[in-house]
Amino acid sequence: ELLAQDRAQNAAFQNPLFHPGLDHWLQTKRTLLQPHETMPAEMASQLESSLLNCPDSLDADTPHLHHNTLSLPHPTSIFFPNETTRLVSNDPVDQTRIHPKHNDIYSRTSLGRIMSKFDLDALFFIFYHYQGSYEQFLAARELTIRGWQFNKINRCWFYKEVEKLPPGMEQSEEISWRYFDYQKSWLARRCGAEFVYREEEFERI
């Protein structure tokens, strides 16, 4: 129907470049209008051939044409398995972690789970060195789960530390802020007293 409509409206379809494909395509239309009663041998073998060539999850994966240099493979012993680390696992999720993101679509992926075991150093490294990647996204997600917030202005991750004070004091808790200095020291540092938290400066993840 689609092509018939387009044919009527569009001179492009008079184009000889559409042949012989068009003839083959028209043949299939015949089959659609009058499907075979029982599967003819030719159809059965085409179906089987399709089964043999069935695309798998690697075929369906996201294309990555340009490979990030940091992920170049390095030589490993032939005794190490060559298999992907992204094997599907349907093991239940750790129920002790409570955060709204724990029921998102990433919580059950193997990379999502692995990142939950990484220390902060690894997460910051991935975040700053794999920009624009799925891995960076997951690192940001994991940092968010752990309470860090990303400042859009200075591109640093901040953490609010809340210390409960003993009863009887003027305030019940003391708030201090830390940030991760990715540019110089590669350490988490305390923010100075002049630090003011402005919500609009932080990315909502």
Partner 1 sequence: TNQERMFLVFTEWVKLLQRVPGDDVKVTVFIRQMIDKGVLNTTDNMIQFTKAALELSVGSFKESDPTSEVFIATDAFSKLIVNLLVLQDFAGMNRSEYLRLMISVITMVFSEDQGRMGNSFNERPYFRLISSLLCEWENISGHNFVKIQDQYYRSQLNEFTPEFYNIIASFLHVYQPIAFPGFSFAWITLISHRMFLPKMLRLPEKAGWSKLVLLFTDLLKFMAQYTKKNDVPDAVSVVYKGALRVFLAVANDSPDFLVENHYELLNHLPHVYMQLRNVILSAIPKDLAIPNPYDPNLRIDGVESCQDAPNVFYDPVQDLKSLKKPVDNYLRIPSTSLLRVISTNVFKQEFQKDNGIGYDTVSVDTKLINAIVLHVGVEAALEKHKTTANAIFNTKSSYYTLLASLLNDGTAEVRFHVVQAIANQLRYPNAHTQWFNYVLKNFFLEDWDADTAEIQEIIIRTLLERIVTNKPHCWGIIVTFTDLLKSPECSILTLPFVMDIPEVEMIIKNL
Partner 2 sequence: LGIDLTPVLHSLGIPSNQQSRHRVLDTFQSPWIETSRSEVEPRFFVPE
Which of 2, 60, 98, 193: binder of partner 2 (CB under 8 A)?
60
Which of 13, 18, 106, 182: binder of partner 2 (CB under 8 A)?
106
What is the Cβ-side half-sphere exposure of residue 196, based on CA atoms within 13 angstroms? 3
CB of 27 to partner 1, least distance (A): 7
- Binding to partner 1 (CB under 8 A) within 114-133 occurs at 132
Question: End-to-end distance of the chain based on CA atoms, in angstroms?
Answer: 45
| Residue (of 114, 202, 193, 115) closest to 159 by Cα position | 202
Size of the site for partner 1 (CB under 8 A): 46
Return the number of the residue (62 or 69) whose C-beta is nearest partner 2: 62
Question: How far apart (Å, rounded) are the C-alpha atoms in residues 43 and 35?
Answer: 11
35 near partner 1, judged by CB under 8 A: yes
Is the Cβ–Cβ distance between 161 and 178 less than 8 Å? yes
- List own/partner pairs for 7-10 with CB under 8 A and 24 or more apart: none
- Binding to partner 2 (CB under 8 A) within 133-192 occurs at 133-134, 136-138, 140, 152
108 near partner 2, judged by CB under 8 A: yes
3-class SS at 84?
A: coil
Binding site for partner 1 (CB under 8 A): 2-3, 6, 10-13, 15, 17-18, 20-25, 27-29, 31-32, 35-39, 42-51, 53-55, 59-60, 62-63, 65-66, 132
